Amino acid sequence: MFISRIFLLLLVPSCLRASKSGQLLNYDVLYELNMKLQGLVHQQKLAAWDYETNLTDFNLERKLNVDLKLASFQKEAHLNISRYQLNSISDINIQRESQLYLQLEEEVLSPQKYRRLKQIISEMITIYSTAKICHYNNPSKCDLVLQPDIEDIFSESSSEAELAYTWIQRRNAVGPKCRNLFQEYVQLTNEAARMNGFADASEYYLLEYTDECIKEKLKHYNRRLRPLYEQLHAYIRSKLRKKYGNCISETAPIPAHLLGDISAQKWGGIGPITLPYPEAFEDLSENLKKQAYTITDIARLAEDFHRSLNLSKMPHSFWEKSIFTKSSDRTMTCHPSVWDFCDGQDFRLKACLKADREGFEAVHHWMGHIQYFLQYQSLDVKMRSAANDALFDAVGGALSIAALSLKHLKRLGLFHGRIDRKADINNLYLLALSKIPLFRSVYVALSWKWKVLSGKVKPENYNLQWWKLVEKYQGLKPPVPRSEKDFDPGTIYEIICGDSILK
């Protein structure tokens, strides 16, 4: 939810660098700009929140209008800053902040195209969030949405036929509708990249890493993870074969609908049925249920945990205005996100969580992002972002992993058994299911999107190439043959949300 995450030395054409007035940029100028920017970002966040938590056309119009206002401000600020003498600034903060103002992203497009781009992304997210399918056992009940219905089926059902049916229906309901929109998104985002002097938009998303070798490093880490992933994959395949029998071959990729998650990114759903030591397992979700925890209670636990590490208390607004569970009085996007309204007071979480292990992990994780917001809230708006998305995410990840340790759970009265080798292995196994497949899946999404943005993969091969990568890196295959009428990457949130995938 950042306006700009990129802070690279931008190569401004030298004609712009040379100042007309020769004036040196100073804090007063930046102060003025920052005050204006802060007001606009605040407005934009409020409008975006209103829209994402209540998907009406009226709210979308309002949001798009504010998006445009902010974009036109960014362009104007860019122009104004570039008129100053910037070569000889010695103050590192001024230097960096001015670079951030000079770095335009998609705002560079004409207002019409910028608006269209924002609209396309909203449309894809709305399709993703609101598409409805019918129930396997009851074909006249046709109001199943991703969260909670389809997710529940994937973590609870053990009927292969029901899972395959739901997998196919979900893809039919989302993929084809997103295909043309996605193609248009690729065109527009690439056009913006070229206007900013890049070959294509894939370069954009990597700038914040300020590392020319970032692609090579990712490949390297992906290779290093491979042996562990392969062991996990082989172990799960053998467990699933015991359960589902011959529809899973000993040597072939695993069918993607049997991993406890409609997008096969996090495999926690099959945790309970594939545990190494089921006899030593105590289910956190069960314990939370027995003790009648609500998700807000869990958020209080998370806050205590953060406080015990000398991190900050959550502000009042977090408790007053966050959305922890799906509201039934409106349609909303459920994909979890954290919000900094840029006024130093208002920080919120939006998610559709349940009081189970996943909700426990999620709240500890997302609160970590808010800690980040709180730590940099006194900086100018342009300077308020993590070093990069990956670090931003890692803070939350480290906190949630620590909070899920058996020692901590025991302290909370949420684990009663002995902490021995078996219990530890079970717990580590569940962590592995929620982290390791995700890494491979993100790698697939990244590789595919880079190929698409750079034109190496053309629309007529979108789906084919997608499944090639899924098979190569994830060792998965679709339950039924796919074609180019389908658009399976369109059912992956990270692909359609228009944001950076790498974290």
Ligand X SMILES: *[C@@H]1O[C@H](CO)[C@@H](O)[C@H](O)[C@H]1NC(C)=O
Q: Is 85 in the site for ligand X (CB under 6 A)?
A: no
Residue 323 vs 430, nearer CB to ligand X? 323
Cβ-contact 319, 303 below 8 angstroms: no
Helix spans in 258-354 (H): 271-274, 284-290, 295-308, 316-321
- Adjacent-strand bridge partners of 348: 339
Question: CB neighbours (10 Å) of residue 480?
Answer: 12
- Site residue total, ligand X (CB under 6 A): 18
Q: Is 194 in the site for ligand X (CB under 6 A)?
A: no
Which residue is listed with tokens 């292990």? 357
Longest dimension (CA), the chain: 77
Site map (CB under 6 A) of ligand X, residues 330-369, x = contact: x---------------------------------------
Q: Was 369 annotated as part of a binding site? A: yes
Q: Is 23 in the site for ligand X (CB under 6 A)?
A: no
Residue 236 vs 374, nearer CB to ligand X? 374
Which residue is listed with tokens 């598409």? 131
Q: Is 329 in the site for ligand X (CB under 6 A)?
A: yes
CA atoms within 13 A on the CB side of 294: 4
Which residue is listed with tokens 């994780």? 365
Residue 317 vs 461, nearer CB to ligand X? 317
Cβ-contact 24, 89 below 8 angstroms: yes
Q: Is 317 in the site for ligand X (CB under 6 A)?
A: no
| CB of residue 52 to ligand X, shortest distance in Å | 11
Residue partners of 213: CB distance under 8 A and separation at least 6: none
User: Cα(130)–Cα(153) distance, rounded to whole angstroms?
Assistant: 17
Site map (CB under 6 A) of ligand X, residues 55-74, x = contact: -x-xx-------------x-
Site map (CB under 6 A) of ligand X, residues 154-183, x = contact: ---x-x--x---------------------
Q: Was 209 annotated as part of a binding site? A: yes
Contacts 24+ apart (CB under 8 A), 327-330: 327/53, 330/53, 330/54, 330/55
Omega prior to 148 cis, within 30 of 0: yes
Q: Is 310 in the site for ligand X (CB under 6 A)?
A: yes
Residue 160 vs 488, nearer CB to ligand X? 160
| CB of residue 33 to ligand X, shortest distance in Å | 5
Q: Is 308 in the site for ligand X (CB under 6 A)?
A: no
Answer for which of 33, 71, 386, 492 binds ligand X (CB under 6 A) is 33
Cβ-contact 399, 306 below 8 angstroms: yes
Q: Interface residues for ligand X in 408-467 (CB under 6 A)?
A: none
| CB of residue 75 to ligand X, shortest distance in Å | 9
Residue 159 vs 291, nearer CB to ligand X? 159
- How far from 496 is each of 9, 172, 289, CA to CA, in Å? 28, 16, 34
Q: Was 257 annotated as part of a binding site? A: no
Residue 33 vs 206, nearer CB to ligand X? 33
Which residue is listed with tokens 């036109």? 72
User: Which one, of 359, 365, 367, 321, lies nearest residue 343 by Cα?
Assistant: 321
Binding residues: 209, 365, 369
Q: Which residues bind ligand X (CB under 6 A)?
A: 33, 36, 54, 56, 58-59, 73, 76-77, 80, 136-137, 157, 159, 162, 310, 329-330
Residues placed in the known binding site for Zn(2+):
365, 369
- Binding positions for chloride are 209
